[in-house]
Amino acid sequence: MKKCLILYESYHHGNTEKIARAMAEQANAKVCTIDKVHTVRVEEYEIIGFGAGIAYARPYDKMLKAAAQLNLQGKAVFVFSTSGMGKAKYNSALVELLKNAGASLVGTFACKGYDTFGPIKMIGGIAKGHPDEKDIAAAKRFIQQMVVS
Ligand SMILES: Cc1cc2nc3c(=O)[nH]c(=O)nc-3n(C[C@H](O)[C@H](O)[C@H](O)COP(=O)(O)O)c2cc1C
């Protein structure tokens, strides 16, 4: 199994944190919020996952800004997100940024996450109950493929 680090940013409902922790458990990975990335030695890991909630159809700004600061030349990376809609294409901005930093993208994952942002709060939010058991199981299957040697 490859030595894996998972960096994440999750502030709305802790949805992405749930996915990050499930992945970490499955892959025996180190998990860390992106604002604490300075406390880990990124270069020691063979594969790094970057996960965030989505705001305005892009991964959280904090993640985009911090990821851009890292030396990822030649590093295997994957991207994951949770969002009200659960669209994988929301990962694009982070995927492009990592590729431009010289990293090698090995996969992306997306699922729904409970969303009460803006007016949808009035209707009780969307994607209630997500990530659910199926989302967690899918996230575990995904990371399993990422870390097998
Ligand atoms: C400011 C803001 C903007 C959002 N914009 C979108 C969006 O464009 N598309 C979407 O599907 N969900 C959107 N969401 C919902 C979140 O992406 C979703 O709830 C996500 O699971 C939150 O992750 P977290 O709990 O890990 O922070 C937005 C949420 C917030 C707070």
pLDDT tens-digit readout, 8-39: 999 999 999 999 999 999 999 999 999 999 99
Residue 149 has pLDDT above 80, yes or no: no
Rounded-to-10 torsion of CA 48, 54, 56, 58:
20
69-87 in b/e burial notation, b at 16+ Cβ within 10 A? ebebeebbbbbbbbbbebe
> Does 120 sit in the ligand 1 pocket, CB within 6 Å?
no
pLDDT tens-digit readout, 30-88: 999 999 999 999 999 999 999 999 999 999 999 999 999 999 999 999 999 999 999 99
**pLDDT for 98:** 98
> Does 59 sit in the ligand 1 pocket, CB within 6 Å?
no
**pLDDT for 39:** 97
pTM: 0.98
Q: Best mutation site among 15, 19, 85, 117 for ligand 1, i.e. most ligand atoms within 8 A of its Cβ?
A: 117
**pLDDT for 101:** 96
Residue 6 has pLDDT above 90, yes or no: yes
Number of domains in the chain: 1
Helix (H, G, I), strand (E, B) or coil at 126: strand
What is the CATH number for 62?
Answer: 3.40.50.360
The span from the CA of 24 to the CA of 27, in Å, is 5
**pLDDT for 14:** 98
Task: Return the bridge partners of 79, or none.
Answer: 50, 108
pLDDT tens-digit readout, 96-138: 999 999 999 999 999 999 999 999 999 999 999 999 999 999 9
Q: Best mutation site among 16, 54, 111 for ligand 1, i.e. most ligand atoms within 8 A of its Cβ?
A: 54
Range of the domain at 21: 4-147
